[in-house]
Amino acid sequence: MYSDELIFEMALCSIFRYRVEIPLKIVENLGSAKKLFELQRGELEEIFGKGSRFPDEILSAKELDSARNEADWCREKGIRIHMRGDSDFPAMLAGCPDSPLVFYSVGCCELNSEKIIAVVGTRQPTDRGKEECRMLIKQLAESGSSPVVASGLAYGIDITAHISALESGLKTIAVLATPLDRIYPKAHTAYARRIARQGALITEFPRGSISHKLNFIQRNRLIAGLSKATIVVESRKKGGALTTAELAESYSREVYALPGRVSDIRSEGCNNLIAKNEATIFTNTEEMLATLGWIKKGEEGQCEENSELFFRGDPLKEKILVALRLNPGQSMDQIHLYTSIAIKDLASSLLELEVEGWITRTAGNRYIAK
């Protein structure tokens, strides 16, 4: 069961969706989100002012009901809900002054890794830009440092970075500007499924969130906040990649830009970052990795591939997979206690899931979802 505080924080984030600094201040000043919802109208009006819509929304049960429904859906689908202050909330992100109170993830990637690097750029790259992006990711994979590649699943450089990471055996994180049940762009849904099997999808937007341009700016701050460094491959004079770079710099993270020809409008943004000393000129991966202080290690294991992002089929099998995704390494008896599935049915379902490639049995007859 999720804690009451998590439900209150989810509701708080929905009310102040585009005022991300307010939920943090409320929790900091009151000690919890729950305490805000316990205030009377007069007390709320003292905080937000008479005539503000916020007291009505806080006093209404609508957002709390939506938060409970969302938590139930996440539990059913094996989606993790990360609450600021919990051990699984990325330390890099928690250190940002505008980090979310709550976000959602699905996948098999360690989000607390200190070796996450953002690779971003224009949605309309040149062939040269795409090739440089592929070579960059290939060199990162060959370096032995096993970094995680983060980007925004958008057209152009973003999806090129994700695909290159997948093909190079690196884990990759796609930060979405939409809920997990609505991948954007729709054309990248198949890639999103692959990323969830070899990395993670994360978002701070629950189901039913309105699509808005501001979603992408909020998405960009998560990309920058999760990452130790940000690399801009190609960018016009203005663009989302430059916003990500600016945010990364404000978080005191390393920012790199690939230089381009002066006459190329798709390199104008990168050239400006370098000229203004807002980014280090990217020359090679070895120099960058040395600056970051990343010691070479053996390649990490990859997540095995399954056919879908969420299991669709036998409800008993789905229940088992959800239990194992939330609590990896359980024995049959532990799964039985968690799911209440009869031992006979559980044994046959586990065998079928293992044969179908959804789970792995480890030493001590413990099971892990792939």
Residue-wise pLDDT tens digits, 5-49:
999 999 999 999 989 899 999 999 999 999 999 999 999 999 999
- Between the two ends of the chain, the Cα-to-Cα distance in Å is 23
Adjacency order of strands within the sheet including 359-362? 330-331, 366-369, 359-362
The residue among 282, 156, 158 whose CA lies nearest residue 220 is 158
Contacts of 120 by beta carbon, 8 Å cutoff, 6+ apart: 151, 152, 157, 158, 161, 220, 223, 230, 231, 232, 233, 240, 241, 244, 245
Side-chain half-sphere of 56: how many Cα atoms within 13 Å?
4
Listed by start position, the domains of the chain span 1-77, 116-292, 315-369
Tell me how far apart the alpha carbons of residues 237 and 240 are, in angstroms, rounded to a whole number.
10
Distance of CA 135 to the CA centre of its chain: 24
Backbone angles phi, psi at 231, to 5 degrees: -115, 125
Residue 241 contacts by C-beta under 8 Å, 6 or more apart in sequence? 120, 121, 122, 157, 232, 233, 234, 235, 269
Q: Could you tell me whether strands 366-369 and 330-331 are parallel, antiparallel, or unpaired per DSSP bridges?
A: antiparallel
> Quick check: 277 pLDDT over 80?
yes
pLDDT at 286 over 60: yes
- Two tokens at 90? 């990325």
Q: Which CATH number is associated with domain 315-369?
A: 1.10.10.10
- pLDDT at position 283 is 81
Beta 359-362 vs 366-369: how paired, if at all? antiparallel
- Band (307; pLDDT cuts 50, 70, 90): very low
* Run of H or E residues at 175: strand 172-175
CATH number, span 116-292:
3.40.50.450
pLDDT greater than 50 at residue 305: no
pTM of this structure? 0.78
Query: If you average pLDDT over residues 158-175, what whole number do you get?
Result: 97
Quick one: tokens of 133? 């992006």
**What pLDDT does residue 302 have?**
38
User: Cα dist. 133→122, 229, 234, 260, 334 in Å?
Assistant: 11, 15, 9, 13, 45
Q: Given the structure tokens 């607390």, which residue do they identify?
A: 112
Instruction: Inform me whether the pLDDT recorded for 299 exceeds 60.
Output: no
